[in-house]
Amino acid sequence: MDKSTLGLAALGLVLAGASGAALAAPDWSKVPSRKVVVFYPGTASLDWIMNGTQHGGAKGLKKGEACIGCHEDEKSHNVDIASDKILKGEKLEPKPVAGRVPTIPVTVQAANDGTHLYLRFSWKDAGGGAEKLDKDNPVKFGVMLEDNKVVAKDTRGATVQIGQAGGCWGTCHADARTMPGAADTKTKYVTGGSVASGNYYDLMQWKSGKGAKAVDGHVADKRVMDGGKALVKAEGKKEGDTWVVTFTRKLAGGDGDIALASGKTYNMGFAIHNDHAAGRFHHVSFGYSLGIDAKADITAAK
């Protein structure tokens, strides 16, 4: 082997070592956590939450308040939402859902190494024997990120920073598939959404089904389940009675990937398709700010 070949081989070892170090998962036992309670929302679409005659919180949204300002207790992080009544079909659910739990407490952790964002979510299994709408996947876990650009208008035309106030609610419309009376062909979308304008959500999803491929896509004028370049890996497993899902994502990506930078904050929402759920029959979070080395609801520090 000549000197040039030896040099290239040595360089390859150095780069491999550096890559391995960069992708080493954080010591999660040392990373701060926050409890976030996800809940069953029924048909509470963006259209509904922005309508002041149906949802009293629409007035607060117009003032720039976040959903968690009214719905989450600051000390306990418990949410005040009538998910039990929704599941029974008493409100916001024309199809009562038997066997699902109304809320699921999730432990959320985040960290970064200057090149990658690491997210970890863990929760106690909440299977209740509901109808298996997705027979292939007992659990799916999705995360959406937004760069403070997605807006919505209330019934009087007032503009609301919905990505900031309500997380991924900016993608949830009454005419999207699985909503009552909606066409099965219409996916989640952002009104006026486009990747070029920044008016979109970055989407990642892990699926528990055998051989299932992780999703790295986005939601703009429609939902696209591939094409992203930022997601490095999405992993999940059930440890005893607890599900643990982790995402490793490059801070910078390609089209459809929100570019993350140290010192800045972004908006995040996530959902669990629990107990073989599909479509809108999931548990969702409100919107939370995600800081990259910056103070936020959830901070990803180095």
> What are the per-10-residue average pLDDT scores of the chain (302 residues)?
44 42 81 97 96 92 92 92 95 93 97 98 90 95 97 87 94 97 96 96 98 97 97 97 98 95 98 96 97 98 96
Alpha helices in 72-176 (DSSP H): 83-87, 162-166
As a whole number of Å, the end-to-end CA separation of the chain is 41
Supply the pLDDT for residue 128. 74
Domains of the chain, with CATH numbers?
30-300 (2.60.40.1190)
Quote the strand ranges of the chain, DSSP E. Answer: 33-39, 103-112, 116-124, 140-146, 152-153, 159-160, 201-207, 215-219, 223-224, 231-239, 242-250, 265-273, 283-284, 288-292, 298-300
Supply the pLDDT for residue 87. 94
Helix (H) or strand (E) holding 13: helix 3-22
Q: Phi first, then psi: what are they for 42, rounded to 5°?
A: 60, -135
Q: What is the pTM of this model?
A: 0.91
